[in-house]
Structure 1
């Protein structure tokens, strides 16, 4: 009985031989999660940007203070109020427009699905797709320029030839109208406008910094392949 027990030991050896197999084929292992570092860096930067932006919002009670509303005497005064109120309630205004956009898309599920598919196509087929892995669809390999042209054509089709464009435009018009109306009737004299916020916290600067962060995260992975 004791001589038969050592014969069981070699059975566990195939499990250990499976472990180094991915290390010998490093390219096969890196093909799947190559986009993970770049996409993770983009998501982390997006969450930090949203957290930083929401921390700068003004109290909603101050936004809806009835005692601070009055009719502007002229159009120039109304535009001046809008500029001052926007610089002070910028995060609140953007949140209101985002809520209106979200409600409009939720109330139109087909437009929401099309827009989500469009954004996913740009993210995973162009922005976060490794340059050494060409796009292959229906057995045909597409270059980066051809992929960009396909995405542009698909974007034009989704935005201008479906209901997505009308939903987005109508929601933005309603949001901008509400923001302008509030900014024109809100008296900004009692607002502390001395604190000027950095202009680089805009929407376009976020994408530029996010793209650089994603490229920096994807560079070590691409170098190993």
Structure 2
């Protein structure tokens, strides 16, 4: 039981470490229309990278509100959420899952959890509510990500969606051409 509690605590601490402050997320002064479609897609990519847990919490809140009049569905989804947490998000990736002497691959775990989630949607009869809630939530997330300016965000190069382009070895930075050379 103590390992379960310590696992929950460690996961909660790691998740809170990546959550950005809500005052930054909801900063009304950072709202500005993008100048072009390219600017909007860049903003969406940067904001989704900078605020991933905030957007996830927003989506889960909208999903919860869509299920509030279906208490059996809420209970079913809490059980499914716990299954996702313990079998995928909350476990150490170094240690494989072993059931009845068989080592289970991560892809199989994801497929089984996805199947469990779909079965929960179908069996509780709220799949339309969930579908509408996810569509509304995704629309709100994309709208916020497109309208929120990224000028005031402090991002590490490797945290940026373009980090692999911006990052380079020090010896390559001395050359104006980087690691490219003439033919």
Q: Structure 2 length normalisation: TM-score?
A: 0.59
Q: What do the CA deviations read for 1:117-158 (whole angstroms, capped 9, x no partner)?
A: 6667999xxxx99738xxxxxxxxxxxxxxxxxx99876543
Do residues 89 (structure 1) and 51 (structure 2) align?
Answer: yes
2:40 alignment counterpart: 78
| 1:151-181 deviations in Å (ceiling 9; x for gaps) | 9987654323542322322222222111111
1:131 alignment counterpart: 100
**In structure 1, what is the Cα distance between the partners aligned to 2:123 and 2:150?**
42
Distance 1:164 1:190, change over 3 A: same
Match of 1:183 in 2: 145
Q: CA 1:55–1:165 in structure 2 vs 1: closer, same or farther (change >3 Å)?
A: same
C-alpha spacing 1:102/1:44, structure 2 compared with 1 (3 Å): farther
1:174 equivalent among 122, 136, 140: 136
Q: Report the CA distance between 1:76 and its aligned residue.
A: 2.1
Backbone CA RMSD of aligned residues: 3.7
Pair 1:98-2:43 in alignment: no
8 Å CA contact 1:115, 1:164 repeated in 2: no
C-alpha contact (below 8 Å) 1:96/1:175 kept by paired residues = yes
1:69 paired residue number: 31
Greater helix fraction, Structure 1 or Structure 2: 1
Question: Retained in 1: the 8 A contact 2:48–2:55?
Answer: yes
For the residues of structure 2 that align with 1:101 and 1:179, how far apart are their CA atoms?
13
**Whole-angstrom distance in 2 between the partners of 1:120 and 1:66:** 35
Contiguous gaps of at least 5 residues in structure 1: 1-35, 133-150, 198-225
If the length of structure 1 is used for normalisation, what is the TM-score? 0.49
Gaps of 5+ in 2: 86-96, 102-112, 160-183
When the two structures are aligned, how many residues end up with a matched partner? Answer: 140
Whole-Å separation in 1 of the counterparts to 2:15 and 2:150: 21
